[in-house]
Chains A and B, each alone.
Chain A
Amino acid sequence: MQYEAGNFDVVVVGAGHAGVEAALAAARMGAKTAVITINLDMVAFMPCNPSIGGPAKGIVVREIDALGGEMGRNIDKTYIQMRMLNTGKGPAVRALRAQADKFDYQHEMKKTLENEKNLTMVQGMVERLIVEDGECRGVVTMTGAAYRSKTVVITTGTYLRGEIILGELKYSSGPNNQQPSIKLSEHLEELGFDLVRFKTGTPPRVHSDTIDYEKTEIQPGDDVHRAFSYETTKYITDQLPCWLTYTNERTHQLIDENLHRSPMYSGMIKGTGPRYCPSIEDKVVRFNDKPRHQIFLEPEGRNTQEVYVQGLSTSLPEDVQQRILQTIPGLEKVQMMRAGYAIEYDAVVPTQLWPTLETKKVKNLYTAGQINGTSGYEEAAGQGLMAGINAGRRALGKEEVIFSRADAYIGVLIDDLVTKGTNEPYRLLTSRAEYRLLLRHDNADLRLTDRGYELGLIPEERYQKFLAKKEAVEAEKERLRSIIIKPSAGVQELIRSMGGSELKDGIRASDLLKRPEVSYEHIKQLVPADVELDFDTAEQTEIQIKYEGYIEKSLQQVERLKKMEDKKIPENIDYDAISSLATEARQKLKDVRPLTLAQASRISGVNPADISILLVYLEQGRIARISSN
């Protein structure tokens, strides 16, 4: 029996890391939103590693925060440890990573959703979409509840026709033995979507009391206050350490002996797994010259004894997992609480999406997160936010929002997905961003807060604070450019003490700061500011001055491509009518339907000559129109 369960602007299916951002963004923009999830106890659950951030991913979290999303704030309230990675490298690759208390994390996130006005949370299994005239107009759950809406966002993670594989055992399941979503997957196929089978995995969890930490190395958090969110002012001081240990020859031998029982090698697993997240059996087989692999022991929270064994992702049978663990120093007597497993699931081939994450097949339907072939909480959250923004704006009758590759890692992520597709679960890497010097951890606010404010996701007070910071950075840059430091005895002394070569002439404070051995702290000693700058402002000033030349180079690169980015391709273009296109290029263009010439040029199989021809065709159309007028 179907019944009417309510009318909404936006319905979000799933409340994982993508779903919560989508729902919050839509609701905060003023759209009446419902979020429907199979199990309300699993909101923002971390089925794999209990951590947020890291290279590239950490920057995504900052971007989400600059756009008014929740992930940064939520982890700042619930971390057990925080570390800045790559501090010895340049500012572009610095990345924050937190270990989360995974239970606090989900409870805190659920609370935030519950307290959001405009947002309705319900438990339910969505089995099909209401599609009329090629438009999505709501969803229907297993119990027959029909939720009508203007737009729908699907964020089902690894639940779509999920199957857990553990040794010789294979059964239908979502992650962590949750109920899988089977009917929805079939329904998407009926609607004509191409689905692909992906695989990912997770390692075993062990009991902390049975670990001999003496045999491992401690990995503490930073003793400086760190935060993902630009809003955070309270810091957690009692951090918990992680621990490092290694596999050894015995581990590898044991794996080798049991390979025939591995579903990876017996052919039971058919889905494509990610190269960047191989199982331990994969690592041992592919890199058999490596005498050892790192294993990080990560607490899953403050009120649990469960410890995540990072580096030991596996789908070997349970008994083998237990024995493998016991070969590792510190884990000789360990008690395994949960076995690792592999999970196969359906994902939507992401080239079926517009860069807004709306599907091309069904209007007003959006997909975000792991369903789009990505992996990682941050990648999911970034997409969720964008899908939520676009679904919300569509419902409210507003323009769509797309970030470019020069705006944000979120832009890189979505452009890669919808333009190139992916043949393995997609993970963001810093090397995927061609303008990574522009897409830094430190300047996420400068890049995106204005946009967040325009979207109505950044409150006035925060925005004013942001503007003040921006102004302070500009003022300080200007001040350092205008001050000449003279080579007085005191100055020379200080320069010598920092290991630099003495000044020959007077030098602008800003030019002195460009020397590698000179920091803003030094400059501050030489030419103190009237008002002491806070850490963020000082850091921003320093980075902008120090790397000015390189930043300028990147900006020129962006500028060079801008004309191609600006060249729009009409949605109704008929590629079959352009006879000179190469066959492969034509097919790819028809599949991807790029919105700009630049996007077209990034499709593999579309070569420069095809772009030229496309351009000529576009111009021909324009000229024809002009001459007929």
Chain B
Amino acid sequence: MEFDTIAAISTPMGEGAIAIVRLSGDQAFEIADRLFKGMGSKKLTEVASHTIHYGHLIDPKSGQVAEEVMVSVMRGPKTFTKEDVVEINCHGGLVSVNRVLQLVLNQGARLAEPGEFTKRAFLNGRIDLSQAEAVIDLIRAKTDRAMNLALGQMEGRLSRLIQKLRQEILEILAHVEVNIDYPEYDDVEEMTHNMLLEKAKYVQGELEKLLQTSQQGKILREGLSTVIVGRPNVGKSSLLNSLVHENKAIVTDIPGTTRDVIEEYVNVRGVPLRLLDTAGIRETEDIVERIGVERSRQVLKEADLILLVLNYSDELSEEDRNIFKAVEGMDVIVIVNKTDLPQKIDLDEVRELGKDYSLVTTSLLEDKGVDELEEAISSLFFSGAIESGDLTYVSNSRHIALLNQAVNSIEEAINGVEMGTPIDIVQIDLTRSWELLGEIIGESVHESLIDQLFSQFCLGK
């Protein structure tokens, strides 16, 4: 759609120290305001134009701080596009910048097409007339590329799944519509709140599964949540420090926020790790018994990856075995640390306990075995084949945003039902989610609802 608010990462992808996400359009300030919490009380809509502000982006879903940022606010028409522009400066690296992009996309910005900022600049009279043809070429090329992409995806699993879910929603919609347009027809069962709830929850569940299983999307979005577990004094803290020091870490250690679960990001050979409970590890390293198995279990539930640390120069204890049990069935890498000390552990027994897992021996003290560990992490998740290439990545990011928005709409529909809102009103949100899913696969034709109506039900006077 023209004239909506667009967003994109406007710095080159890579490992720059700072990255910028740029927003342009009349909702730019509002979108940024919904995420940004500055030091002062002023909203971005209220600050002077062409000023820059320090603060944090808060994820509205979790209420948690997502990023530390500097935000430039530029009111149109004195901007590149002549529209309102917000530039969010955040830490460089894949994870942060994608997170910021996802946040603004989830708030309703649309991922800009290639060249779209330039196109807007032209449309708003910012660019010389002679460039018009170039812009038109760009648009045409863009469509062709998007067509190819759409075709490629049409055959994919994603597309089939989405079509299936859209059909589910469409049937609900048609059912609701038939109740509205043909209220006296008793051939058709009245859609009740309970029926709607059941169906909406099913779709919601499927969509969330889709979001979760879209592994690469999730990695780009928030990193692999990773937990380091092990008995006290096995070297968890050293492992953490080693990962953090080896790799550029972004510490979301914000004064005033709870220190209970602090996360740190590291980028291990292209795999962004979100290390959970790092504060716990740091604080409790010396306090024996602080991390009981119970607490670990709770943290473990959230994890995508477990780094299980054992002590090379100690025998396997009951506690170690309990940890193995607790992580059963998860993605685990077993790290036997302290090879600089005499061996007391029975490695065969470790292999037996962790027969499905990779095993790495390290001496973190002597910086030995870290490469092998990183290799293990990377191969575990990419099996050597990470999809790269701008387009796939870009379109995934767009899909994730649309999926997230679709889930939001479904959630609003579910809330509505639970509040007892009339079904035909709840349907507004349901229809929205159907349209959003349609955008993913490039179908959003309203007429299909009416077709569905007449093929599903026998109507007429």
Contacts and interface: CB of A to CB of B under 8 A. Distances in A.
Nearest to A424: B454
A584 to B, nearest CB: 13
Interface in B42-85: none
A452 interface: no
Contacts of B132: 616, 620
B46 to A, nearest CB: 21
A131 to B, nearest CB: 35
Contacts of A619: 122-123, 125
Interface in B184-221: 184-187
A237 interface: no
A311 B461 contact: yes
B125 to A, nearest CB: 6
Contacts of A437: 425, 428
Contacts of A533: none
Interface stretch (B134-142, B268-276, B379-387): B134-142
Contact of B181 (A429, A554, A597): A429
A624 B130 CA distance: 10
Interface in A143-163: none
A431 B424 contact: no
A55 B449 contact: no
Contacts of B39: none
Contact of B459 (A85, A276, A563, A608): A276
Interface string A291-318: 0011010000000000000110100000
Contacts of A609: 139-140, 142-143
Interface residues of A, number: 65
A547 B119 contact: no
A627 interface: yes
Nearest to B451: A275
B183 interface: yes
A430 B181 contact: yes
Interface string A589-618: 000000001000100100111011101110
Given A89-B424, A276-B454, A431 B449 contact: yes
B428 A612 contact: no
A627 B123 contact: no
Contacts of B422: 89-91
Given A290-B187, A616-B132, A55 B181 contact: yes
Interface string A408-450: 0000000000001000000001111010110000000000000
Contacts of B142: 609
B222 interface: no
A3 interface: no
Contacts of A90: 421-425
Contact of B424 (A93, A274, A294): A93
A479 B446 CA distance: 41
A272 interface: no
A55 to B, nearest CB: 5
B446 to A, nearest CB: 7
A160 B119 CA distance: 50
A550 to B, nearest CB: 5
Of all A-B residue pairs in the complex, the 7 with the closest CB atoms, nearest first, are A90-B422, A516-B420, A609-B143, A287-B458, A563-B3, A275-B454, A90-B425
Interface of B: 1-4, 119, 122-123, 125, 129, 132, 135-137, 139-140, 142-143, 173, 177, 179-187, 419-425, 428, 445-447, 449-450, 453-454, 458-461
Given A90-B421, A554-B428, A580-B137, 18 more contacts: A49-B461, A85-B184, A89-B423, A90-B423, A92-B424, A275-B459, A313-B460, A431-B177, A431-B180, A547-B425, A550-B428, A560-B4, A563-B3, A580-B136, A612-B2, A613-B140, A616-B136, A619-B123
